[in-house]
Amino acid sequence: MHAFSRGTTSATAVAVPPSLALPVIEDAFPRRLHPYWPRLQENTRRWLLEKRLMPPDKVREYADNLCYTDLMAGYYLGAPDDVLQAIADYSAWFFVWDDRHDRDIVHGRSEDWRRLRQRLHTALDAPGDHLHHQDALVAAFADSVLRLYAFLPPTWNQRFARHFHEVIEAYDREFGNRVAGRVPGVEEYLALRRLTFAHWIWTDLLEASARCQLPDAVRKNPAFRRAALLSQEFAAWYNDLCSLPKEIAGDEVHNLGISLITHSGLTLEEAVAELRRRIENCIAEFIEAEREAMEFARELDDGTMRGKELSAAVRTCVGNMRNWFSTVYWFHHESGRYMVDTWEDRSTPPYVNNEAAGEK
Q: Which residues are catalytic?
A: 94-95, 197, 337
H/E/C letters for each residue in the chain? CEECCECCCCCCECCCCCCCCCHHHHHHCCEECCCCHHHHHHHHHHHHHHCCCCCHHHHHHHHHHHCHHHHHHCCCCCCCHHHHHHHHHHHHHHHHHHHHHHHHHHCCCHHHHHHHHHHHHHHHHCHHHCCCCCCHHHHHHHHHHHHHCCCCCHHHHHHHHHHHHHHHHHHHHHHHHHHHCCCCCHHHHHHHHHHHCCHHHHHHHHHHHHCCCCCHHHHCCHHHHHHHHHHHHHHHHHHHHHHHHHHHHCCCCCCHHHHHHHHHCCCHHHHHHHHHHHHHHHHHHHHHHHHHHHHHHHHHCCCCHHHHHHHHHHHHHHHHHHHHHHHHHHHHHHCHHHCHHHCCCCCCCCCCCCCCCCCC
Among candidates 248, 238, 237, which has minimal Cα distance to 346? 248
In order of 239, 242, 343, 349, the CA distances from 247 in angstroms are 11, 10, 13, 11
- Residue 32's φ and ψ, nearest 5 degrees, are -135, 160
Let me know: does 232 contact 322? Beta carbons within 8 Å: no
d(CA 112, CA 97): 13
d(CA 238, CA 193): 12
Question: Is the C-alpha dihedral spanning 192, 195, 197, 203 positive or negative?
Answer: positive
